[in-house]
Amino acid sequence: MFRRVLIANRGEIAQRVIRACRELGIETVAVYSSADADALYLRQADETICIGPPQSAKSYLDIPAIIAAAEVADADAIHPGYGFLAENDHFAEVCRSCKINFIGPTPEVIAALGDKVRARELARKAGVPIVPGSDGAVEDEKKALEVAQQIGYPIMIKAAAGGGGRGMRVARNEPSLVASFHQASSEAKAAFGDGTVYLEKFVENPRHIEVQILADEHGNIVHLGERDCSVQRRHQKLIEESPSPSLTPELRARICEAAVRVVREANYTNAGTVEFLLARDGSFYFIEVNARIQVEHTVTEMVTGLDLIQQQLLIASGERLAFKQEDVRWSGHAIECRINAEDPEKDFQPSPGKIELFVPPGGPGVRLDSHCYSGYRIPPNYDSMIGKLLVHRSTRDAAVRTMLRALDEFVIEGPKTTIPLHGSILRHSDFRAGDHDTGFVERYYGSHPAIPVKEPR
Ligand code: MV4
């Protein structure tokens, strides 16, 4: 096992990795930008190193600064967390050439899955359903029109270098397809340096189901079930839960087995997530793989009792998975609410600044992963997540009731937060019935999110 791990991240995930390392007897090195000098995770690490000014590009994204910190601190591994350098194949390659273990998949696998056209091809080869669409990249508008003629409208144009909702457009007829094709391609070129796009049939208001997997370096793969992430707004997830209220045991088994097939075809190692769209009629389609630990991994931790960060560390140090698929047991229902310092009444405008009073909820079935405290100043330079509030109860209904109780207990004075919005969503009859899809938030909380457009039935 590693002796010393450097965490190339900040906030709650830095703290989460420190906790996992502590329990495994691994020393930790935290890095920080000058904006994070008073962060809680710095007090919990064994060593801290300032890597630069507030701008991410000059600190948490600065590869030479992070590698230098790892060399100086004599770390034998780097955990990238999520965001920042977590899916940067070049960074993983630099780690390899410096003989530092990157806690994640190999650079080759990160690169292959980062190219959404290649990822789609891997899924197809693995016999996993993909959304009807183009056979690879679409080079020009003539080809785009041809493909659209074949599969029918509406069509989605996606950037090969995109993912997570970035660089996507919908076209409902030929003129709009031609315009959108060129727009999507130039946007992708500007944003990612690669204008390659591909086409898919547009699936209207799907549910978003993702499957957590673990894969060791000896060919062992297990899935840890799914998470339903359909409650999102503009590709920012608000609520995640497991199990999904929209899967039957049969459908669940098929999706989870499909996820394992994708991961095997990709030679994937470490923790990862396979994303699917689930249509109303029960058909599901692979969309992409997230080659990192995700924010919402905690939901799966609650229902499986596993520590996914410890599993990442064990896998990256070359160990075999200590359990088989049939040993994985799921219990009860977990829900996570992402609490952000944002004002839902002002189009989710970030609301950074000093937290005057922070009173965390607690009690049976409640977990809060947060790096915040009374007096903490939320820097304006990074994402606005204050923390992740989770509950674990024996049924979905009990979990919802415990979450409502915990949200009521949670006091954050100072910044505006998404706490009241979560309360409103959890009381909504469609959410209560599990009858919600990725269009739910826009539909009911479109203009003035705290006031439902249509009152819950
Ligand atoms: C789609 C889609 C409909 N049809 N692809 C958005 C995030 C990215 N991972 C894929 N996304 C979508 N791809 C086709 N062919 C709808 C979405 C989508 C979505 C997917 C998952 C979760 C939330 C979403 C919100 C809007 C659109």
The b-or-e profile of 75-94 (16+ CB within 10 A means b, else e) is bbbbbbbbbbbbbbbebbbb
- Percent of the chain, pLDDT > 70? 98
Residue type, position 319, single letter: E
287 C-alpha to ligand 1 centroid (Å): 8
Say what the pLDDT of residue 165 is: 76
Which is the catalytic residue, given 16, 292, 338, 393?
Answer: 292
Q: Per CATH, the architecture of 132-201 is what?
A: 2-Layer Sandwich (3.30)
What number does the ligand 1 atom closest to the CA of 204 have? 3
425 C-alpha to ligand 1 centroid (Å): 21
Say what the pLDDT of residue 164 is: 76
Tell me the average pLDDT across 376-393.
Answer: 97
What is the average pLDDT score of the chain? Answer: 96
Give the binding-site residues of ligand 1, using a 6 Å CB cut-off.
131, 156, 164-165, 200-203, 206, 208, 232, 235, 275, 277, 287-288, 438
Give the model's confidence band at 204: pLDDT under 50 very low, under 70 low, under 90 confident, else very high.
Answer: very high
Give the model's confidence band at 449: pLDDT under 50 very low, under 70 low, under 90 confident, else very high.
Answer: very low
Give the model's confidence band at 447: pLDDT under 50 very low, under 70 low, under 90 confident, else very high.
Answer: low
| CATH 3.30.1490.20 placement within the chain | 132-201
Distance of CA 328 to CAs 189, 226, 331, Å?
43, 13, 10
Question: Residue whose CA is closest, atom 17 of ligand 1?
Answer: 165
Beta strands at 155-163 and 166-171: parallel, antiparallel or unpaired: antiparallel
Q: Omega of the bond prior to 243 within 30 degrees of 0, cis?
A: yes
Task: Supply 359's token pair.
Answer: 């009173």
- Tens-digit pLDDT profile for residues 407-429: 999 999 999 999 999 999 999 99
Say what the pLDDT of residue 167 is: 79
Say what the pLDDT of residue 163 is: 82
142 C-alpha to ligand 1 centroid (Å): 25
Rounded-to-integer distance, Cα 273 and Cα 427, Å: 29
Find out whether 368 and 361 touch, Cβ atoms under 8 Å: yes
454: pLDDT strictly greater than 80: no
pTM: predicted TM-score of the whole model, two decimal places: 0.97
| CATH 3.40.50.20 placement within the chain | 4-103
- Tens-digit pLDDT profile for residues 112-134: 999 999 999 999 999 999 999 99
What number does the ligand 1 atom closest to the CA of 131 have? 15
- Domain 4-103 top-level CATH class: alpha beta
Among candidate residues 333, 315, 332, the one with its CA nearest the CA of residue 323: 315
* Most ligand 1 atoms within 8 A of CB, residue of 151, 203, 295 to mutate: 203
- Tens-digit pLDDT profile for residues 230-266: 999 999 999 999 999 999 999 999 999 999 999 999 9
4 C-alpha to ligand 1 centroid (Å): 39
Tell me the average pLDDT across 296-320.
Answer: 98
442: pLDDT strictly greater than 50: yes
Question: Residue whose CA is closest, atom 9 of ligand 1?
Answer: 164
259 C-alpha to ligand 1 centroid (Å): 17
Other CB atoms within a 10 A radius of the CB of residue 360 amount to 16
Say what the pLDDT of residue 8 is: 98
Options 3.30.470.20, 3.30.470.30, 3.40.50.2300, 3.40.630.30; CATH for 207-444 is: 3.30.470.20
Tell me the average pLDDT across 282-310.
Answer: 98
Question: Residue whose CA is closest, atom 15 of ligand 1?
Answer: 202
| CATH 3.30.470.20 placement within the chain | 207-444
Residue 166 known to be catalytic: no
